[in-house]
Amino acid sequence: MRKLVLAASIALLTACSAPQQEQINFTPRAELSNSNIVNGSSFTLTSKDVRSAQYVALVDSGRSNIEPIHSKQNVRITLENALLEQFQSQGFRSSVNSENAIVVEVQELLVSVKHSVMENEMDARLVLEITAETPQGKLVKTYTGTAERTGALSASNDEIQLVLNDVSNLVLREVANDRELQSYMQERF
């Protein structure tokens, strides 16, 4: 029994001292409105992350070694907070018991990185589905953002982080400027 406890302790200590996977900062910036389109219309905001994997980048160094990189922040919560800030800047008010609802679904968020010693190629993609639902019906919209970037030498985590946040900001801007979504929420919320 004593040997078993000792072996388990050694295994646990070894796991704790193993190198941690690298992580990058996911900090999308909300696109804030300068003027209200409504005055205090309420809604309930929920979100879900339906991605098959939780990493935000895959780095292929070409030596049969593909390394996933995760975000330091929770992707779903970070995007939900940015969208909440955007809607509030337009005059909407978040409530826990509103009959109006916005559901945000994160369907895809990934930066694919292929690099060698001499160059790198990054392809980023974010797909968000936003459902605005009222007792009178619902509007479902899908927003897709893509970005490509090439550079000399290997891609650093800072460069991957920049592309990830840029593609996220692009989609948030598209949501903020979507006249159809604004009109739907303005008329029905």
Task: Please state which CATH number belongs to domain 22-188.
Answer: 3.40.50.10610
For residues 56 and 75, the answer to whether their CB atoms sit within 8 Å is: yes
- pLDDT tens across the length of the chain (189 residues): 666 555 555 555 555 444 456 788 899 998 888 777 777 788 899 999 999 988 998 888 777 788 898 999 999 999 999 999 998 988 888 888 888 999 999 999 999 888 777 888 889 999 999 999 998 889 999 999 998 888 777 778 888 899 999 999 999 999 999 999 988 888 888
Q: How is the chain split into domains, by residue range? A: 22-188
**Kind and range of the H or E element at 88?**
helix 75-89
The residues, ordered by sequence, that sit 6+ positions from 40 with a Cβ below 8 Å of its Cβ are: 91, 92, 93
Distance set, CA 74 to CA 23, 46, 79, 149 (Å): 12, 14, 9, 25
